[in-house]
A and B are shown apart, each in its own frame.
Chain A
Amino acid sequence: MSDIRLYIDFKSPQAYLAMQPTLRLCERLQVSIDWQPYRTRQLRIELPRDDESRGETHVRVRQQQRHETCLRYADIQGIPMTFPQQPGVTDCALLALLSLAENPQAYIQAAFNAYWCDGYDLDNTEVVKALLRSSGYNASDFDPQVLSGQLDEAQRSAEEAGVFDTPTFVVEDQMFLGREQLSLIESTLS
């Protein structure tokens, strides 16, 4: 059994930024991760409208600030990060993650890089198969049609557990959202 269950979505900027700090923590503490897919809802940054409600203004300003914050910390981490004009769909890539029983780390890193550095479509089966192959996995057996339905089931299960965003860490039945929690996670695991 893994020490940390970690819910991710490749289109989640916070999940992307959490990847390296999380791997460093696991390396330091010698703990393992059970990687789980969770389909997040990403919003694009809307342009201001004269008729927007106060709530819509709040969401727009929050989205703009989050975007800028992510870019600041990508720069601090020294990793490339380009937001797509329109948030992509990552269901196919998340299905591939579900299909990998063991050691999916190389595929996960490749999928994050494909989305945030190269702008690939992670809902395209051929793109996802190429990512599987390039990261050392057998892509010939991957068939999103056969796996269809499993992602919805995984989503339901995660939501029943209280998950609503990524990266969500579950450690000793405690839930933690975001890499800003890594110090407390470390304290919990130590």
Chain B
Amino acid sequence: MLALESDAPLIVYVDIKSPYAFVALRPTFELEAALGLQFDWRPLTLDIPSYLGSARKSKGKIVQSDRTPASWRAVKYAYMDTRRYAQRQGYVLKGTEKIWDTRMVSTAILWVSRQDRSRIKAFFETVYPAFWRRELDVEALAVVKSCIETAGVDSRGFDQFLLGEGGVLHDDLQAQLHPSGIYGVPTYVCEGEILFGREQLPYVKWILQGRRGDAPDVGNPL
């Protein structure tokens, strides 16, 4: 799997632990449906402590942190901002109490895509809202397999996939991302252009519709 290449017209990179990816899902699925296309959804497993510092909360209190005051203001804003968009979409978005290891659930994206790409939406609908309500332990194999099944995909063989081919596929893909110019989620790859953030969806739509008329400026879908 090459980071910038796909048989689909658009690659979408997401990570479940990103609130920005969460609020990007619905407008991106709406675009996919409106254009009658099937996008290639892929995992980008963020290494948040490497660029934003790490932190852990317990019962709402910070019990460990190496973040700067500016980083904290940025993080607080990110949750406040994404929460109001999530609410507009009818979702609950609670700040996470730790930085989750999402490698397993990211590999599950590859599994579901391989089994039946049309079930990706069902898989995300099973995983994302529950995770952001703090009701899903995405580091537990049984939980992830249950989500795969709920999405209508056979989870038999996922254990082996995770330990073998799938884990390797995931790690190889992650290693390609920075050298390809991809660093965050959601990232859209369309006709060779790398577009970070759901605010670029108007531009993505403009490309997918054949670049007719004036290109639009950025704008978060409401």
Residues of A with C-beta under 8 A to B183: 58, 61-62, 65
**Count class of interface residues, chain B:** 20 to 34
CA distance A57 to B182 in the complex (A): 11
Residues of B with C-beta under 8 A to A73: 217-218
Which B residue's beta carbon lies closest to that of A64? B181
CA distance A119 to B62 in the complex (A): 44
**Residue interface bits B189-222, CB-to-A below 8 A is 1, else 0:** 0000011110110010000000000111111101
Whether, in the assembled complex, B168 has its beta carbon less than 8 Å from a beta carbon of chain A, the answer is: no
Is the pair B199, A57 in contact by a Cβ cutoff of 8 Å?
Answer: no
Which A residue's beta carbon lies closest to that of B196? A65
Whether, in the assembled complex, A179 has its beta carbon less than 8 Å from a beta carbon of chain B, the answer is: yes
Is the pair A178, B199 in contact by a Cβ cutoff of 8 Å?
Answer: yes
**Residue interface bits B138-167, CB-to-A below 8 A is 1, else 0:** 000000000000000000000000000000
Say which one of B74-82, B99-107, B125-133 lies at the interface with A.
B74-82
Q: Which of B60-113 contact A (CB under 8 A)?
A: 69-70, 73-74, 76-77, 80-81, 84-85
Which B residue's beta carbon lies closest to that of A66? B196
**Residue interface bits A156-190, CB-to-B below 8 A is 1, else 0:** 00010011110000000011111111111001000
Is the pair B219, A175 in contact by a Cβ cutoff of 8 Å?
Answer: no
| Partner of B51 from A55, A69, A178 at Cβ < 8 Å | A55
| Partner of B222 from A69, A159, A163, A187 at Cβ < 8 Å | A187
CA distance A175 to B81 in the complex (A): 8
CA distance A37 to B151 in the complex (A): 50
Residues of B with C-beta under 8 A to A49: none
CA distance A174 to B81 in the complex (A): 9
Is the pair B70, A54 in contact by a Cβ cutoff of 8 Å?
Answer: no
CA distance A54 to B52 in the complex (A): 12
Is the pair A62, B217 in contact by a Cβ cutoff of 8 Å?
Answer: no
Which B residue's beta carbon lies closest to that of A162? B73
CA distance A42 to B214 in the complex (A): 30
**B192 CB to nearest A CB, Å:** 12
Whether, in the assembled complex, B114 has its beta carbon less than 8 Å from a beta carbon of chain A, the answer is: no
| Partner of B220 from A21, A77, A159, A180 at Cβ < 8 Å | A180
Given A69-B196, A175-B77, A61 and B215 touching (CB < 8 A)? no
Residues of A with C-beta under 8 A to B194: 65
Which B residue's beta carbon lies closest to that of A163? B73
Whether, in the assembled complex, B50 has its beta carbon less than 8 Å from a beta carbon of chain A, the answer is: yes
Whether, in the assembled complex, B178 has its beta carbon less than 8 Å from a beta carbon of chain A, the answer is: yes
Whether, in the assembled complex, A76 has its beta carbon less than 8 Å from a beta carbon of chain B, the answer is: yes
CA distance A165 to B69 in the complex (A): 13
CA distance A103 to B215 in the complex (A): 32
Which B residue's beta carbon lies closest to that of A180? B199
**B191 CB to nearest A CB, Å:** 13
Residues of A with C-beta under 8 A to B197: 180
Which A residue's beta carbon lies closest to that of B184? A62
Whether, in the assembled complex, B47 has its beta carbon less than 8 Å from a beta carbon of chain A, the answer is: yes
**Residue interface bits A71-90, CB-to-B below 8 A is 1, else 0:** 00100110000000000000
**B27 CB to nearest A CB, Å:** 12
Is the pair A76, B222 in contact by a Cβ cutoff of 8 Å?
Answer: no
Which B residue's beta carbon lies closest to that of A55? B50
CA distance A175 to B200 in the complex (A): 21
**B28 CB to nearest A CB, Å:** 15
User: Measuring CB to CB, which residues of chain A are less than 8 angstroms from any residue of chain B?
Assistant: 21, 53-55, 57-59, 61-62, 64-65, 69, 73, 76-77, 159, 162-165, 174-184, 187
Instruction: A54-B51, A164-B70, A176-B81 given; name 12 further pairs at CB < 8 Å.
Output: A21-B217, A58-B47, A58-B50, A58-B178, A58-B183, A61-B178, A61-B182, A61-B183, A73-B217, A159-B69, A174-B84, A184-B85
Closest 6 CB pairs of A and B: A180-B199, A55-B50, A164-B73, A58-B51, A54-B50, A180-B218
